[in-house]
Structure 1
């Protein structure tokens, strides 16, 4: 079985600067941002392996550059980050370039039309992505590329047109896990927007998805959906959104073709409360592997002077997995000298490869305290559970750290962390720590 865990993990991410392309800029003009950070990372058994692996020491130098350009009609952001990494472990020493990321976003809006373009690229160790509790901790390198474009026209007329195109690709290098396969996916949609009145807007269109998985049989999936929807303002506070569709999916795996057809539907009723909003939503989806899944949720969102709360509770039923309870809670409270937050989530999915139900539960607690204008303490605790008939995985991560502004431009940060994992192979532990010094500076040309 493949082991999983944090690379250096947890609070270590606090020492990594945000991509400068998303730096906040003043209204208008061009803002350039440059950043440099040097960090020392020490971790033992970073892959949470059994038997335990040795200690790894890494010296990472991260360089970043970003641009933000904003006018009355459009906004462009661009950021790039990369690191020079020197590692020493039981296998010897190595030096390479990694932790690369590129982000691009462009938004242009006029009364009659809007255009959005995005591009994102990330390359890092395969176990640094942490998409799934059961899939992280792998060897090798992973690269993700995402491209998207969306345009809407006729926004000031009775009939408009909206269309979008997206491309996602994931590549793995030097991996030994057969479950980590390269994937490629195209998505496209087009819809006519029908503005019947100030309170009613309809839409009619089609969506298409093509996915290829480079496994032993090169699995190919083609999915097409025709849909029609209506957004209707029932009153000044209540809004109703309805969408009905029909999906046809064709999957080819090792020259074996399977087809699935079925309805797609969504009904959502939202209501503006004195503080925040409340909603109820019923949805029906058809999947080529799982069949049909029905989900009903109620939710509440509010924001007060000190608190931000988002909560939802529901039930879901799948043809292959049965009925389960799902939900989520995210609560953040602003304190006089910091902040406190709690996150809870339970979700259920279907694993087509293992042909089984997987229930994921997550609980996290975060706390930040400002000791003074230049120093902040941070703490984070996370519990994750992945429960499936074939394996039960539990993982607990505790992280604590600090950030300190040495000067107006230079910052010092550090932290320690500890992760414990229990699964079918037994219990694994991984302690880690880091210290980093960084500088970000901005100017307008």
Structure 2
């Protein structure tokens, strides 16, 4: 059963477990957290179809487990959750039992003065529409994302050091309605020699390699090799400069035909410490297989005060195939005397061989008010628009929720949502309601 971004679907159980784990991060030792949540959802036209589907009713029981261990040298964090779902979906015959909405995350870090080791693993399984992709929000089917990553740094206290990294990511689709949603895998590796010239200057020489496979009709394979040299330099206590100059070689194989693209991979940046926060500038020149060379220049401002946290970016991007566009983002969170207020504004540009240039704009507002020590209400409003050569997609989402702490361990959450989507198929509406009862407890062995 699909849930929109503001329907709180399944996220309640995840957030409930992760928050206390973070809160005790500095206490050391081992902390085990167990959680259970039973959630009833009723959503009409959940897939935002035109014409509209019927009403879906689902009862999901989530079980979650979290572990965090911290010593002077290493940190380990593990989280896993999944749900048993009893669902009566629109258009299906009878009631079905399924197991899904799985989430797994593992992070391990061991650090000594001269070396650093990081290991990460993740998995997420859910309906296609629950992932953050506006174009696929009205699609049916199941998506599974999983990945592994490892990073090693040695010689951190020496004049010459070495950094190595490996990553593997995959996306699998099952029973999807859109034939353009194809399974993909991507493997990445990087190696760099770190040269510490002085306390204020550090250089690096390295290689980055990636191989992406897409199960399209032509079995598309994209291989990218970037060789680079970089330098970080502290001009003063407040001003830092960085530069990285590289050369990219991209080879794309489709239907047995090979196409090669070569070009620069350049990064020039500056960061200046202000009385409150930082001011930054970044110039990026990249080469890829879709729009050849792209140049992007951004100015950023980050600041944090007792009440506000602000991160802003504004810039311009230009590509050989699409011309020049404005890009930017604004994230603003304010602590209120009895709650919080959040604002997000963003506009980004990308390119796809099938859809051409894609411009995505987002506006969202979140508001939380604490009624008293045990209850709160929340409102979420979001507007998203995606413009491409193929179609224009607009989606408005509204959500309202109420949370009540019944006892020290038990919580009640309930809410409503309403979504409206306009695309090439027409206008679709989807109202929904949910109620959830959850409990968590912690154990220190």
Corresponding residue for residue 273 of structure 1: 274
Task: Tell me: CA distance 1:76–1:440, structure 2 relative to 1, closer, same or farther (3 Å).
Answer: same
Which residue does the alignment assign to 1:7?
3
Alignment of 1:206-245 (within 5 A): 206-245=207-246
Q: TM-score, normalised by structure 2?
A: 0.96
Q: Which moved more, 1:252-261 or 1:139-148?
A: 139-148
**Paired residue for 1:289?**
290
Counterpart for residue 254 of structure 1: 255
How many residues of Structure 1 are paired with residues of Structure 2 in the alignment?
A: 439
Separation in structure 2 between the aligned mates of residue 226 and residue 279 of structure 1, nearest angstrom? 25
CA distance in 2, matches of 1:8, 1:162: 40
SS of the equivalent of 1:178 reads: coil
1:31 shift after superposition: 0.6
Query: 2:13·2:64 contact (CA, 8 Å) conserved in 1?
Result: no
Classify 1:19/1:76 alpha carbon distance in 2 versus 1 (closer, same or farther; 3 Å). farther
Provide the residue aligned with 1:393 in structure 2. Answer: 393
Give the conservation status (yes or no) of the 8 Å contact 1:118–1:148.
Answer: yes
SS where residue 187 of structure 2 aligns? strand
Equivalent residues of 1:15, 1:414 under 8 A apart: no
CA distance in 1, matches of 2:424, 2:124: 31
- In 2, are the aligned partners of 1:69 and 1:75 still within 8 Å (CA)? yes
Is the alpha carbon distance of 1:127 and 1:402 closer, same or farther for their aligned partners in structure 2, counting shifts above 3 Å? Answer: same
For 1:284 and 1:100, locate their aligned partners in 2 and report how far apart those are by CA, in whole Å. 38
Distance 1:428 1:11 in 2: 17
Partner of 1:165: 166
1:21 Cα deviation after fit:
6.0
Would the aligned equivalents of 1:21 and 1:78 in 2 still touch at CA under 8 Å? Answer: no
* Secondary structure of 1:161's aligned partner: strand
SS at match of 2:7: helix
Q: How does 1:323-338 map to 2 (within 5 A)?
A: 323-338=324-339
- Local SS of the residue matching 2:135: coil
SS in 1 for 2:309: strand
Q: Larger relative contact order (C-alpha < 8 A, sep ≥ 6)?
A: 1
Equivalence for 2:415: 415
Displacement of 1:17 in angstroms is 3.3
Match of 2:14 in 1: 17
Question: Are 1:29 and 2:3 matched, yes or no?
Answer: no
Whole-angstrom distance in 2 between the partners of 1:78 and 1:300: 33
TM-score by length of 1: 0.96
**Do 1:8 and 1:432's aligned partners in 2 also have CA atoms closer than 8 Å?**
no
1:65 aligns with 2:65: yes
Q: Helix, strand or coil: the match of 2:129? A: helix
CA contact (8 A) 1:401 1:416 kept: yes
Secondary structure class of the residue paired with 2:413: strand
Moved more, 167-176 or 374-383: 167-176
- 3-state SS of the aligned residue for 1:15? helix
Structure 1 residue runs of 4 or more that deviate by more than 6 Å after TM superposition = none
Q: Distance in 2 between matches of 1:297 and 1:139?
A: 37
* Correspondence for 1:103: 105
Determine whether 1:429 maps to 2:429: yes
- Cα distance between partner residues in 2 of 1:324 and 1:29: 51
In structure 2, distance between residues paired with 1:242 and 1:302 = 24
In the TM superposition, residue 16 of structure 1 has moved relative to its aligned partner by: 3.3
SS, match of residue 177 in structure 1 = coil
- The equivalent residue for 1:299 is 300
What do residues 3-45 of structure 1 show as CA deviations (whole Å, max 9, x unaligned)? xx96355133363333746722252111111100001000000
Say which SS state the counterpart of residue 35 (structure 1) adopts: strand
Q: Name the SS for the 2:123 alignment partner.
A: strand
Matched ranges for 1:96-245 at <5 A: 96-130=98-132, 132-245=133-246
RMSD of Structure 2 on Structure 1 (CA): 1.3
Partner of 1:40: 40
Shift of 1:200: 0.2
Distance in 1, matches of 2:215 and 2:208, equals: 24
Residue aligned with 2:134, SS: coil
Map Cα deviations across residues 229-276 of structure 1 (whole Å, 9 max, x no partner): 000001110000100000000000001110000010010011000000
Q: What runs of 5+ residues in structure 2 fail to find an aligned partner?
A: none
Tell me, which stretches of 5 or more residues in structure 1 are unaligned? none
Closer, same or farther: CA 417–18 of 1 in aligned 2, 3 Å: same
| Equivalent-residue separation in structure 2 for 1:74 and 1:19 (angstroms) | 24
Q: Distance in 2 between matches of 1:19 and 1:76?
A: 19
**Secondary structure at 2:333 match in 1:** strand
